[in-house]
Structure 1
Amino acid sequence: MLEVILVDDDDIVLMMQKKMVSRCEISSTPIIFKSALETLDYLNKPETLNNIEKKYLILLDINMPMMSGWQFLDRIKEHPLHDRIHVIMVTSSIDQKDRRKAETYKRVIDYIEKPVTLKHCQNLKQLQSISEFF
């Protein structure tokens, strides 16, 4: 089972992403967090840690207050669920340094410039690491 998690500090972006992942049948019920810290708290809950059936697809913004997407990625490197987490960086950054940096993280499987479109969603469903869920 693949659980989809949307992480962004912008309510409008979250609303648009939720509609898009539902529309293209990635998830009809994504979990939504406004910060990377909230996401980390969720991943650390005993009921999350103990569910060995699930894998996680996290659509993660880079620039957020309190904990950036980069800091989140650094924190999950040693997380017990690390091997079951797949991350799509979803950002407004057009800086190629960010794209190259994302490629250095093992759990990052794609990098998307906002907004997420239907074409992005269709491409995500073809990614080898998560295609089995679609």
Structure 2
Amino acid sequence: MTHFDTIFLVDDDPINNLINKRLLGKIGISENIVEFLEGEEALDKLNDFEPQHSLLIFLDINMPVLNGWEFLDKYLELYGHRSDKIVILSSSIDYQDRFKAQGYEIVSGFLEKPLTLGKIEEIRNQGIL
């Protein structure tokens, strides 16, 4: 499994972030897992990392202030030169959201909440991790 320098959890639900942080911490793909309740904070924090810093971002779609789609648009505008892995992690079961996500080349995968060891294995088998 790929090791990342940092993992961002971008979700407005602190309980989801806590659970996901513990799960990801157990499998050891990064020692540095950072939680964000707002997408804007995560985008600002990206300024602290060099482009070669390996970063995995788990991104929720439905968030106040800046939703996941707006996050992706701003990410492309500001950080399109980076090679981070972005996986959408959402409670949405709407096929249109999956289809829309496929339109973003920077989105490596789309998972439905909750994040589980099985889903992590699934994206690992797809070559995302």
TM (normalized to structure 1)?
A: 0.85
Residue 62 of structure 1 is matched in structure 2 by 61
Aligned length: 126
* Distance in 2 separating the partners of 1:83 and 1:96: 28
Matched, 1:104 2:103: yes
SS of corresponding position for 1:64? coil
Matched, 1:93 2:96: no
Q: Indicate the RMSD between aligned Cα atoms, in angstroms.
A: 1.7
Match of 1:36, as an amino acid? G
Residue 30 of structure 2 is matched in structure 1 by 27
* Distance in 2 separating the partners of 1:120 and 1:66: 28
SS of corresponding position for 1:84? coil
SS of corresponding position for 1:111? strand
SS of corresponding position for 2:66? coil
Matched, 1:7 2:10: yes
Once superposed, which parts of structure 1, at least 4 consecutive aligned residues long, lie more than 4 Å away? none
Residue 71 of structure 2 is matched in structure 1 by 72
Match of 1:60, as an amino acid? L
**Aligned residues of 2:9 and 2:58 also touching (Cα < 8 A):** yes
Cα offsets for 1:6-40 (capped at 9, x unmatched): 11000110011101111222224311111100001
Of stretches 29-38 and 59-68 in structure 1, the one that deviates more from structure 2 is: 29-38
> What are structure 2's unaligned runs of at least 5 residues?
none
The percent of aligned pairs where both chains have the same amino acid is 36
Alpha-carbon shift at residue 81 of structure 1 (Å) = 5.4
* Distance in 2 separating the partners of 1:23 and 1:81: 31
